[in-house]
């Protein structure tokens, strides 16, 4: 039976690889705020934030988050709305809810401190193998791999691994490879070196192989097959969903906001009213209402009839379309046509009336931020 390439590396080669790789990291490592010390709380929060989010986006969020919730106890005891507001714009809000649930576990079971064993770390809400490996290796020196997409890309090229990284079953292959080459003396630095190499040099497209500190060890480089790896099957395209959004203003210059259900997508977030429609209805409205520039709200531009939406709302709608926004979730792609209307009635059972100056007190998901930006961009001083 043919052995795996990493099993053929003698101890001397592994040692040389680790020495050269860590020397490069010590010289070139990124200056990131969660690397100032080995505080497991800071490492944990940064790793959760970095899931599905770019490093340069996370930095400012991380600083603000640490100011708001400087300790695990502060995080555990914070009102959920305050937590979600601090997370606003990062998306994937279940991450924020999970870290608070984990913080409560830590407060109840571990005196508000991160445990030092891998099994205990893994028992916390929202912490999977990668995050546990990062915390365990960086904070506590455990020789545990932290395997994410960057690491799988580096390792797949290093050993020409043919397994599909999109399949969960492939993770065990990368785990075995990483356990062979990871430094037992500096596992945290080794994992972070892998992260930095994957983000800066061993990139998905056009890897900078001439600058790579482990070029001499890389099978893909030797065979000139860098672009063949990693092998990744295409994931299913997000499902298209179509909505109409109503920006409704009353005579007190307040706007109607509605809160999402406490479970599911965008749980407990606030948005302008939305109504789901079919693709055919959406296309018909898009053709009927020209997305022209905003004009004065005058008699010939309004209708007592809603534009085929929100028919139970006592609203006078403008006959023009403010515009269209879209937003992609991991599994859904929202398409939203945006209309503006006015009302003299508050119909409070339908939502909450809020002045624009108070919007900052509410947790807005990214789609709502796009809706608000569209409204603000279309509004002129004369209209206001």
Active-site residues, by number, are 47
Tokens 């909450």 belong to residue:
352
**Which run of H or E residues covers position 333?**
strand 332-343
- Residue 261 half-sphere exposure, CB side, CA atoms within 13 Å? 3
Q: For the chain, count helices (H), then strands (E).
A: 14, 9
| Alpha-carbon span 314 to 306, nearest angstrom | 9
Cα separation values, 119 from 10, 11, 95, 136, 170, Å: 31, 29, 20, 10, 22
Structure tokens at 376: 């603000």
User: How far, in Å, CA of 258 to CA of 273, rounded?
Assistant: 6
Whole-number Å distance between alpha carbons of 341 and 245:
11
- On whether the CB atoms of residues 247 and 258 are closer than 8 A, the answer is no
Q: Residue 298: CB partners within 8 Å, gap ≥ 6?
A: none
d(CA 68, CA 364): 18
User: The tokens of 24 are what?
Assistant: 């490069």
For the stretch 77-86, contacts whose Cβ atoms lie closer than 8 Å and that sit 24 or more positions apart, written own/partner, are: 77/107, 80/268, 81/268, 81/363, 84/268, 84/269, 84/363, 85/363, 86/61
Q: Cβ distance 336 to 367 under 8 Å?
A: yes
What is the total residue count of the chain? 384
């Amino acid at each position: 039976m043919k052995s795996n390439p990493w099993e053929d590396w003698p101890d001397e080669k592994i040692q040389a690889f680790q020495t050269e790789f860590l020397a490069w990291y010590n010289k070139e490592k990124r200056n990131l705020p969660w690397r100032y010390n080995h505080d497991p709380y800071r490492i944990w929060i940064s790793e959760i934030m970095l899931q599905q989010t770019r490093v340069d986006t996370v930095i400012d969020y991380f600083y603000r988050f640490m100011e708001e919730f400087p300790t695990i106890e502060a995080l555990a005891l914070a009102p959920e709305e305050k937590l979600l507001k601090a997370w606003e714009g990062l998306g994937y809000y279940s991450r924020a809810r999970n870290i608070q649930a984990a913080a409560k576990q830590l407060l109840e079971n571990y005196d508000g401190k991160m445990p030092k064993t891998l099994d205990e770390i893994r028992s916390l809400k929202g912490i999977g193998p990668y995050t546990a490996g990062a915390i365990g290796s960086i904070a506590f020196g455990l020789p545990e791999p932290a395997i994410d997409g960057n690491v799988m890309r580096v390792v797949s090229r290093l050993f020409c691994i043919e397994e599909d990284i999109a399949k969960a079953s492939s993770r065990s292959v990368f785990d075995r490879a990483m356990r062979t080459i990871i430094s037992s003396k500096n596992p945290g630095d080794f994992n972070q070196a892998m992260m930095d190499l994957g983000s800066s040099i061993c990139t998905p497209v056009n890897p900078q192989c001439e600058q790579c500190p482990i070029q001499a060890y890389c099978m893909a480089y030797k065979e000139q097959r860098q672009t063949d790896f990693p092998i990744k099957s295409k994931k299913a395209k997000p499902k298209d969903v179509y909505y109409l959004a109503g920006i409704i203003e009353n005579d007190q210059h307040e706007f109607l906001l509605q809160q999402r259900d406490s479970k599911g997508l965008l749980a407990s977030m606030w948005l302008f009213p939305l109504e789901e429609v079919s693709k055919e209805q959406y296309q018909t409205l898009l053709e009927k209402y020209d997305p022209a520039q905003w004009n004065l709200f005058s008699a010939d531009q309004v209708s007592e009839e809603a534009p085929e939406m929100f028919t139970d709302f006592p609203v006078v709608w403008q006959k023009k379309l403010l515009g269209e926004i879209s937003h992609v979730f991991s599994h859904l792609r929202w398409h939203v046509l945006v209309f503006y209307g006015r009302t003299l009635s508050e119909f409070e059972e339908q939502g909450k009336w809020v002045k624009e100056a108070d919007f900052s007190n509410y947790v807005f998901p990214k789609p709502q931020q796009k809706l608000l930006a569209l409204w603000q961009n279309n509004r002129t001083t004369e209209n206001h």
